[in-house]
Amino acid sequence: MRQVTLQNDDHQIRILTSRQELEAVEVAYRMLSRCRQEKYFRYGGRHFALDALDSYQVHDYDPERSVPNPARARQRRTLLRARQQLTEAEAAYGQAA
């Protein structure tokens, strides 16, 4: 067994390994890559329901499929409201004149 220690300014990470043929840098890289993968799978499981996949079936991508953008829909509604308010203001101005 050997210990590889990574040290930042005030933080240490100790890694115990039995891999004698790897350089310390390679051990640290592999261990930190593994930590990143585990964190991603935890994040993905919470936000993308990775565990809820019901099959391994693959569907072809349809380039003709239109996917609505929710931000554009909000902007469209805001623009429609502004145009309605402008029409009402013009009608009120015409009545006052």
CB atoms within 10 A of CB 61: 6
Predicted confidence at residue 95, as pLDDT, reads 92
Q: How many domains is the chain built from?
A: 1
- Residue 45 in contact with residue 51, Cβ under 8 Å? yes
Q: Is a pLDDT exceeding 90 seen at residue 35?
A: no
Residue 90 included in any domain: no
The pLDDT tens digits of the residues spanning 39-77 come to: 998 998 888 887 776 778 888 888 888 888 999 999 999
Q: Is a pLDDT exceeding 90 seen at residue 89?
A: yes
Predicted confidence at residue 21, as pLDDT, reads 92
Residue 13 included in any domain: yes
In terms of phi and psi (left: phi > 0; alpha: psi -120 to 50; beta: otherwise), the region of 50 is: alpha
**Maximum Cα–Cα distance for the chain, whole Å?**
92
Residue 69 included in any domain: no
Predicted confidence at residue 44, as pLDDT, reads 86
Q: What is the mean pLDDT of residues 11-30?
A: 89
CA atoms of 37 and 26, how far apart (whole Å): 16
Predicted confidence at residue 6, as pLDDT, reads 86
Residue 10 included in any domain: yes
Q: What is the mean pLDDT of the chain?
A: 89
Predicted confidence at residue 51, as pLDDT, reads 75
Which residues span the domain enclosing 17?
2-52
Residue 45 included in any domain: yes
